[in-house]
Structure 1
Amino acid sequence: MTALTGVILAGGQGRRMGGQDKGLVLLNGIPLYQHVLQRLRPQVDIVMISANRNLDRYQASGCTVIADTLPDYPGPLAGMLSGLLAAKTDWVVFCSCDTPSVPVDFVAQLWRQKETAPTVWARSTERDHPALALLHRSLAKPLADYLQRGERRLMQFLREQNGHAVMLSQSEAAFRNVNTPDDLEDSPL
């Protein structure tokens, strides 16, 4: 593998979490993003956090914190664009802050199976997980153009860039998102 930057996507509004900053919601006494950080950090060379509020709390992790370059919380693609623009490596892997059990080898699995694609994303037996994705930095310009047109659909963008899903071997529990207070109670951790 080449040098990789990892970006934790924590820039959303947290509507389903009652407006709370989802990355900072506690799961077993630890902020959600910290669970992801513990699993992502050993898989990459550099970790950044894409956040739009509580920047000082995220900076306390020692990671570089980047904000969306676009206003009004336009979704995960805006965080991905910021990550691609800030990265110094050619490849950037993304993981949402609400996936606390993300596989400890998902980056290696994406890398091994990317072939010549400029982007790949995780797929489990039940569905695609496009916020667990590996993108080449060259996709920053097409992504900026896509967002400029008002598009927000992550899977559509990844497919338009000739990307493909990578089947990961872990159980569905590894990909479970914590989106609501009820999800916190049902979390596998």
Structure 2
Amino acid sequence: MTAGVILAGGRNRRMGGQPKGLLELQGEAIIARQIRLMRTLCAEMIVVTNEPELYRSEVPQNVNLVPDRNPGLGPLAGMEAAFACTSSDTIWIVGCDMPFVSPEAARLMRSKLEEREELDAVIPCLQGKRHPLHGLYRKRVEKAVSPLLETQQLRLMGLFERIRWVELTDEVFVETGIGTRFATNVNTPEEWVELRKNVEK
């Protein structure tokens, strides 16, 4: 079984404090859109947030809202919380600021993960940039996350120095008919205005 995880932590400082998961695209909050799309692949959905009251109106009752066990330590802490509350063997993790998450891309990454038992993760690498927050992970990665948090090593890419993983490039996705905008994220009001302009025009 695959669990879907949305990391909705962070202080949203570059967005002026506005929670990015609640930004609306075509009348739908990003986080609601993500849940709708991810559920086509995931039997279980988890949102990691320390402010559940912000998201409850957009998150169905059967989606698990869980807090960080180590608040304020970034995406790795969110991953730790998600791993701890699921028994699913494979976990699709995304950030809450990604409006175009792709079940097709995740399904392809999951198939690559399942082909090789020794792999711990598969992540996209698009235009030379790695995107660990649209990645597929095995639950056993939890064992590598906790020591990093304990020693305050909070770089997300530092995790990949401790696990076995592969990346899938633009070409792999395009060859299978999967567009690559799924890794698009928004960090500032200006980026959000531009994204909406391109989508809604």
Per-residue deviation, 1:39: 1.7
Equivalences, count: 185
CA deviations on 1:71-119 (whole Å, 9 max, x unpaired) are: 2x21111111111001121221101111101223122111122223111
State how far apart, in whole Å, the 1-side matches of 2:86 and 2:56 are. Answer: 17
Could you say what secondary structure the match of 2:31 adopts?
A: helix
Aligned to 1:143: 145
Aligned to 2:12: 14
Amino acid paired to 1:184: W
Q: Work out the percentage of aligned pairs sharing the same amino acid.
A: 26
CA deviations on 1:43-87 (whole Å, 9 max, x unpaired) are: 11111111121x13433422110111002x211111111110011
Preserved CA contact (<8 Å) 2:14 2:188 = yes
With normalisation by structure 1, the TM-score equals 0.89
State how far apart, in whole Å, the 2-side matches of 1:166 and 1:160 are. Answer: 19
Amino acid paired to 2:55: Y
CA deviations on 1:120-139 (whole Å, 9 max, x unpaired) are: 21222342111111111112
Preserved CA contact (<8 Å) 1:12 1:52 = no
State how 1:87-102 maps to structure 2 within 5 Å: 87-102=86-101
Preserved CA contact (<8 Å) 2:121 2:138 = yes
State how far apart, in whole Å, the 2-side matches of 1:126 and 1:181 are. Answer: 25
Amino acid paired to 2:23: V
State how far apart, in whole Å, the 2-side matches of 1:28 and 1:118 are. Answer: 36
The yes-or-no answer on 1:181 pairing with 2:178 is no
Aligned to 1:161: 163
State how 1:1-189 maps to structure 2 within 5 Å: 3-53=1-51, 55-60=52-57, 61-62=59-60, 63-71=63-71, 73-114=72-113, 115=116, 116-167=118-169, 168-169=173-174, 170-187=178-195, 188-189=198-199
User: Which sections of structure 2, spanning at least 5 residues, go unmatched?
Assistant: none
Runs of 4+ in 1 over 4 A off after TM superposition: none
Preserved CA contact (<8 Å) 1:10 1:49 = yes
Preserved CA contact (<8 Å) 1:120 1:158 = no
Preserved CA contact (<8 Å) 2:144 2:162 = no
State how far apart, in whole Å, the 2-side matches of 1:81 and 1:185 are. Answer: 33
User: Which sections of structure 1, spanning at least 5 residues, go unmatched?
Assistant: none
State how far apart, in whole Å, the 1-side matches of 2:15 and 2:37 are. Answer: 23
Amino acid paired to 1:59: R
Per-residue deviation, 1:29: 2.9
Per-residue deviation, 1:160: 2.1
State how far apart, in whole Å, the 2-side matches of 1:24 and 1:134 are. Answer: 24
Could you say what secondary structure the match of 2:92 adopts?
A: strand
Could you say what secondary structure the match of 1:56 adopts?
A: helix
RMSD of the TM alignment (CA)?
1.7
Could you say what secondary structure the match of 2:93 adopts?
A: strand
Instruction: State which drifts further: 166-175 or 127-136.
Output: 166-175
With normalisation by structure 2, the TM-score equals 0.84
